[in-house]
Amino acid sequence: MSVREKKLPVAALERIDDLCAEFERQWQVDSPPTIESVLADLSAEAKESGTAEHDVLLAELVVLEIDYRRRRGDQPRKQEYLDRFPAHHEILEDALAEKERPTRGFTPPTVDRLAELFPNLEIVEALGAGGMGAVYKARQKGLDRLVALKVLPDEFAQDVKFALRFTREARTLAKLNHPNIVSVFEFGKVEHTFYFLMEYVDGPTLRDVVRGGQLAPQHALAIVPHLCDALQYAHDQGIIHRDIKPENILMAKDGTVKIADFGLSRIIDQDHPPTELTATHQVMGTPRYMAPEQFEGARGVDHRADIYSLGVVFYEMLTGELPIGRFAVPSRKVEIDVRLDDVVLRTLEKEPQQRYQRASQIKSDLQSITSTEQVTLAPTMDLSGSQAARVGSDAMTTAIPSSGVSLQQQELAARFYLTRRDLMDRIKASLKPLMRGQLFQIFVGVLLVVLGAQCWAPNTDIPHRVICGGVLHVYGILVIAAGAAVCTRINRIDYSKPVDQIREKLDAVKNVYLHVGALIGFPWWLMWIPATVAFGFDAILHPNSLIPSLVIGVIGMGVSYWLYRRAQRPNRPSAESWRKRFAGHSLAEANSILSEIEQAQIQ
């Protein structure tokens, strides 16, 4: 039986996890134990359970030792381990062989299915899905709190080595406690489904923010230090993300920045490390954001791969573009302090030795740039003498006026940005009923044009039908033009512009709506007469019917015109309230929200 197909109880997986964790700890402090000594430490209880636990532990220890030896520059060979453990050739061949995963796509479970698997959760909705899992919004009934439920594909449930890896890594991730990392509350396996229960972050991803084109450089400078804090904390715990990208960075509505899916790529991919032993170059991550050594499947990918990915994200936040090929420095794309170019470029160095060696160094340099006019940037650990001299000289002798904006002010700006974005979304939502109303008006105008044409076209020899049909035809065109004019001006509002410009656009919508409303509203009092004729009721033209109808229509038009003039008199105290009534609820609500933004001094 393949080592992957062995079924072990949870207690056995936890024993293996503890031994492997101690094995890794000793490697990290440069006192690596031998695999043989760890195997000898198996408890009597474990030995009584048979050879399955021994075999899985051996396979896991071999993979771990190979990983740490590669980090030190060694080139371990499979034959070396076969000679070292001659009685376990089959176990080692299986552990070090390339295993292909199923190629069929992942089908996320339905909300009803998850409700059966997790009766203690109220599954609210699906948030998103990809090849490596799906995320759902849920509520913990007992604690009455919202959580995010991430489930992995069922294919992993058939692999005991993945179960071990999941247990080991998930226990580590659950210990990560940092304000800029999405917390893991619980993890485990239900039937054939591995899952994480995580903190729910109410807000957009950084991808949504960047795609909106509304991220100013000062907002990027406020976000990156928090990402540096999160990465440095995780790296200090020996955890590498390996898939830093805008989709995995969440922006809470209170301005907090959080990194999601920490360590998930390691859990999923560690079973297939890209080494000579497996003859594979399988990699995890998103190619546009991966470090060169990660993309090429090089040995010993470490925390500096996250620093490179952070550099790609930083460049994209500043410029809205990806640093692909021969790219320009950020200061040639946007108006920023040119000293930021050096920070970004050093995160994007192809050789890991030339990059920042710690995420905290990036934060330190950003703080120095935003708070001083002259700054000495933190050196990398492996710059050549000439390069170090160049960087130091440039930093010390180049005096460039700083933005004068403190990090605290930038963080406040970031919160304002998210608040502004939320309020602008509310303005857009408030205008949707008005837009729908105008589209319906255009539809009505088309019907009036058709009705008018049907009235006069077949009856060109009947004067009153030609006149009534012509009136309806012209009126329908006016109704269409009025609706189109309002819709066009609503679509012209650019919500990324300053508030005063948005106010001007919103006032333009209101003015057009009020003027065209009068144009088509007043004649409506009389339009029912030609419409009745168009439907074949010519009796409405009899003097006994026509004269009272005209009298009522003229009175209605007069009263409407009088009210409209009251709304147009700027010197009257009640004029503005009348304008709001004529403009309708949508425009009134949009103006109210815009006033909130102005009062909060959010530009």
Q: 3-class DSSP state for residue 254?
A: coil
Q: 150 among the known binding-site residues?
A: yes
* Concatenated DSSP letters of 414-482: HHHHHHHHHHHHHHHHHHHHHHHHHHHHHHHHHHHHHHHHHHHGGGTT-HHHHHHHHHHHHHHHHHHHH
Give the bridge partners for 189, in sequence order.
194
Half-sphere exposure (Cβ direction) of 449: Cα atoms closer than 13 Å? 13
Known catalytic membership, residue 243: yes
Amino acid at 547: I
Distance CA 382, CA 379 (A): 8
Nearest CA among 194, 168, 196, 239 for reference residue 15:
168
**Are the C-beta atoms of 139 and 124 separated by less than 8 Å?**
yes
Give the bridge partners for 122, in sequence order.
139
Amino acid at 282: Q
**Are the C-beta atoms of 225 and 363 separated by less than 8 Å?**
yes
Distance CA 165, CA 88 (A): 21
Q: 3-class DSSP state for residue 257?
A: strand
Query: What radius of gyration do the chain's Cα atoms show?
Result: 34
Distance CA 344, CA 346 (A): 6
Distance CA 522, CA 380 (A): 75
Cα–Cα distances (Å) from 513 to 158, 476, 489, 519, in that order, read 64, 17, 10, 10
Contacts of 331 (CB under 8 A, 6+ apart): 337, 338, 340, 341
Active-site choice (55, 159, 243, 269): 243
Catalytic residues: 243
* Residue ranges of the binding site for ATP: 150
* Residue ranges of the binding site: 150
